[in-house]
Amino acid sequence: MIRRRTIAAIACAVLALGWLASPVLPEDADSVSSVLQARDGTVLHMASVDDGRIRLPVDLAAVDPAFIAALIAIEDRRFHRHVGVDVLAIGRALRSNLSAGEIVSGASTITQQLGRQYRPRPRTVPTKMIEALEAVRLDLRMGKREQLERYLTRISYGSNIEGIEAASRIWLGKSARYLTVDEIALLLALPQSPEARRPDRNPVAAKAGRDRIIDRMLDADLIDPDMATAAKLQPVPTARQALPDRDILAHQTFGDGISTLDPDEQARATRLLAAWTTRQAVPVNAAALIVHAPSREVRALVGTGARHHAGGWIDMTDRVRSPGSTLKPFIYAMARDDGTLDLQSDVRDAPTRFGSYRPENFTRRYHGQVTIREALQHSLNVPAVMALHAVGADRFRAAMSAAGPQARGRIGDAQGDGLALALGGTGLSARDLVVLYTALANGGEAGPLRWTPDAPEGDRYRLVSEATAAAIVDALRDAPVPKGFANMQGVGRVAYKTGTSYGFRDSWAAGLAGDYVIIVWTGRPDGAPRPGQTGRASAAPLLFDLAAPFLDDDSSQRVTEAPEALSTLPSETDRGPVILFPADGTDVLASDRGLSIAVDSDEPVTLFVSGQAVRKEAGLAVWTPRNAGFYKISAVDRLGRSANANIRVVTRDQIVDAPPQFR
């Protein structure tokens, strides 16, 4: 018999130890709403947990101490002295209930209520005994501070609201760090009857419950009579505060916790992009990045201006698109560092072939002799391709890669040795571009973006020299401004570059303003064309609006009428026509079908070949050479302005090393 009792005792002890050692909390005990916070702690986005509840984590240090004192005084006076179960409170409750003949008082401690939050059970005597045992186990395994933090994280406040921080933000519109007497009383009263006292549905019951708590705070000497009277005069809130949820795309990038985002700049950028999309005649979207150049911290990220538009859920700051002409400053910068050219170097902007690749200016006009500085400011294509040809497309790609951005794919340059890269013939994202332009702002030194305040500095890479970076930025400050803006004199001006991808699919503006770098993209997420929507017309106005607060002397401002461009570059076609094909100095193959002569001119022209007028067929000037040899093509407009191209016509058997089928 004794042996059996010993075995039974040992078994009970083992079971008791196993029960004490088993997990005290369920697997989802730590599930809370994910929250994106700005650099100052402002909540920018709040998401619900899986069951749709808003449950924010609680740090006791971030809760008003007066609330904690009132909670313990009213709910569990001996919280810091008992071991999960308050025996004295149980005895008091039994006496009160027996004398009243009904249940008028409970004895559940905060620890018991915490266990009930995780494992709700029917309110019966056996379950109360189980809860008491679990409370002891919780108290043995968990400190008092952790118990309070977990309790205040999951306590119900009605609807889908759990925890004091969520309740304070939703009902009071503020954090629980600083609370008034009436706010403390309301946040203590609501959990006692979460649904019956919901302020938005029954403000009378909410006020009555709050006022009873104020009386109990007065009885506990937590407040004086004057404070109690003043607190009862305060109205209770009657509506829920809207949760911050506009920054869902930023939340996907930054995740939970403190970010580098500036709440004011994030809100301003969100507002400006939303207003811009609303003004557009057709559904279109926009995205923007703002980076503080000295720290490389991302201060604003707006992935979409209109979430309700098609593709509005896509973060367009992270999508790879053609960058248009936004890479030209870096091409010229590398060429300058190589000693190939200077910004004051002269170059001829005219039709030019690079092997089989023949770039054209966006306007299909050419400007003759220009400086590299002017070519950059007016985004001329031929000089940029010349510069890239000198630098080397593969070397330029390698330099970008070393700085961080990875150019994806080659567009339109299968036979051009990668030279279409100068005109957007690759894929980059807004995040890639902001790394490059931040390098310009930091004296040519590139580094990774920083997304959290404690992020490491990361490795630096010298993309271009400091002197070259300064020269490029200075040139970009003199670029013609978008319509409706003025860019006054001084170092406070916006230094910017625009870009437009092939087919008007993407419009870009990248700029430096004060200590900040701004990238703006406008377009359609599906890549559909938007005829006529250039970077200067579509994206640049947004850039200038975003840049305005960063300028030391308020030097960027909107004007009622579009000002004259601060820097004008006369087009050579303003002085006469330009022969696009055949280009001057080229060889052309004789053909029985003739040659179509292409001319760019603002005025009607008459064409001559070696003094003979050229006939037109279906509106096209077609010339059929009689023999091989040298010819002079002349185009004369009605104002008497002319252009000439000297060419040589060759036959198939004159083509050196041509395959037999072409001879």
Ranges 274-283, 342-351, 546-555: which has the least confidence: 546-555
- Tell me what the pLDDT averaged over the chain comes to: 82
- Specify which of 77-81, 123-127, 342-346 reaches the highest per-range mean pLDDT: 342-346
CA terminus-to-terminus distance, the chain:
116
284: nearest Cα among 321, 257, 260, 316: 316
Out of 193-207, 473-487, 615-629, least confident range: 615-629
Question: What's the pLDDT band for 109 if we cut at 50, 70, 90?
Answer: confident
The two three-digit tokens of residue 334, written as one number: 């590398």
The confidence band for 556, taking pLDDT boundaries of 50, 70 and 90, is very low
Assign 320 a pLDDT band (cuts: 50, 70, 90).
very high
Three-state SS at 123: coil
**Mean local confidence (pLDDT), 301-319:** 89
Q: What is the pLDDT of residue 657?
A: 38
Q: Do domains 2-30+53-232 and 37-47+245-572 have the same CATH topology?
A: no
Query: What gap in Å lies between CA 296 and CA 484, rounded to an integer?
Result: 31
Highest mean pLDDT among 239-253, 311-325, 580-594: 311-325
What mean pLDDT is predicted for residues 167-186?
A: 94
Q: Parse the chain into domains and list their residue ranges.
A: 2-30+53-232, 37-47+245-572, 576-662
- Round to whole Å and give the CA distance between 131 and 265: 50
**Structure confidence by residue, pLDDT tens digits, 421-432:** 898 888 999 999
Of the ranges 395-404, 489-498, 579-588, 640-649, which one carries the lowest mean pLDDT score?
579-588
Residue 75 designated active-site: yes
Distance (Å) of CA 124 to CA 128, 130, 131: 6, 10, 10
User: Does residue 339 surpass a pLDDT of 70?
Assistant: yes
Measured torsion, CA atoms of residues 122, 128, 132, 135, in degrees rounded to the nearest 10: 20
User: What average pLDDT does this structure show over 537-554?
Assistant: 86
Q: Decide if pLDDT at 88 tops 70.
A: no
In this predicted structure, the answer to whether residue 89 has a pLDDT above a threshold of 70 is: no
Residue 507 has pLDDT above 60, yes or no: yes
Tens digit of each residue's pLDDT (9 = 90 or more) over 569-592: 444 445 578 777 776 766 777 666
568 compared with 287, residue with greater pLDDT: 287
Query: Could you say which of 108, 322, 325, 507 is catalytic?
Result: 325
Instruction: Report whether pLDDT(356) > 90.
Output: no
Distance CA 46, CA 32 (A): 10
Q: Residue 637: what are its φ and ψ, rounded to 5°?
A: -90, 175
Q: Using the predicted structure, report yes or no on whether residue 272 has a pLDDT greater than 90.
A: yes
In the predicted model, is pLDDT for residue 197 greater than 70? yes
Instruction: State the catalytic residue, choosing from 31, 34, 48, 75.
Output: 75
Instruction: Please tell me whether residue 153 adopts helix, strand or coil conformation.
Output: helix
Q: Which is nearest to 607 in space by CA: 626, 628, 589, 580?
A: 580
Q: What CATH class is the domain 37-47+245-572? A: alpha beta
Q: What percent of the chain has pLDDT over 70?
A: 80
| Residue 91 binned pLDDT confidence (cut-offs 50, 70, 90) | low
| pLDDT grade for 125, boundaries at 50, 70 and 90 | low
Query: DSSP labels for 494-515?
Result: PEEEEEE-GGG-EEEEEEEETT
pLDDT at 122: 64
Residue 303 has pLDDT above 90, yes or no: yes
- Banded pLDDT at 24 (limits 50, 70, 90): low
Can you give the pLDDT at residue 619?
60
CATH number of the structural domain 2-30+53-232 = 1.10.3810.10
Strand, helix or coil for residue 628? coil
- Per-residue model confidence (pLDDT) at position 572: 42
Question: What is the mean pLDDT of the segment spanning 103-118?
Answer: 71
Higher-confidence residue: 55 or 574?
55
For residue 567, what pLDDT is reported? 37
Which spans in 233-288 are helix H? 248-254, 263-279
Q: What are the tokens at 548?
A: 């305005």
Give the list of residues 6+ apart from residue 517 with CB closer than 8 angstroms, or none. Answer: 289, 290, 291, 293, 434, 437, 438, 440, 441, 510, 511
How far is it, in rounded angstroms, from Cα 97 to Cα 207? 27
Mean pLDDT of the region 131-154: 85
pLDDT value for 348: 85
Given a cut of 70, whether residue 663 has pLDDT beyond it is no
Q: Which one of 33-37, 175-179, 590-594, 638-642 scores highest in mean pLDDT?
A: 175-179
Q: Check: CB of residue 429 under 8 Å from CB of residue 404.
A: no
Question: What is d(CA 451, CA 34) in angstroms, rounded to the nearest whole number?
Answer: 17
pLDDT value for 25: 63
pLDDT (average), residues 73-95: 74
Instruction: From 70, 271, 49, 16, select the one nearest 163 (Cα to Cα).
Output: 49
Domain 576-662, CATH among 2.60.40.1080, 3.30.499.10, 3.40.50.11260, 2.40.30.10: 2.60.40.1080
- Work out whether strand 495-500 and strand 620-623 pair parallel, antiparallel, or are unpaired: unpaired
> pLDDT at position 94, please?
54
Residue 214 confidence (pLDDT) above 50: yes
* Per-residue pLDDT at 562 exceeds 50: no
Element (H, E) at 624: none
Q: Once rounded to an integer, what is the mean pLDDT over residues 524-535?
A: 88
Match 């709440």 to its residue by tokens: 263
Q: What is the per-residue pLDDT for 569?
A: 46
Segment (H or E) for 629:
strand 629-637
Residue 379 known to be catalytic: no
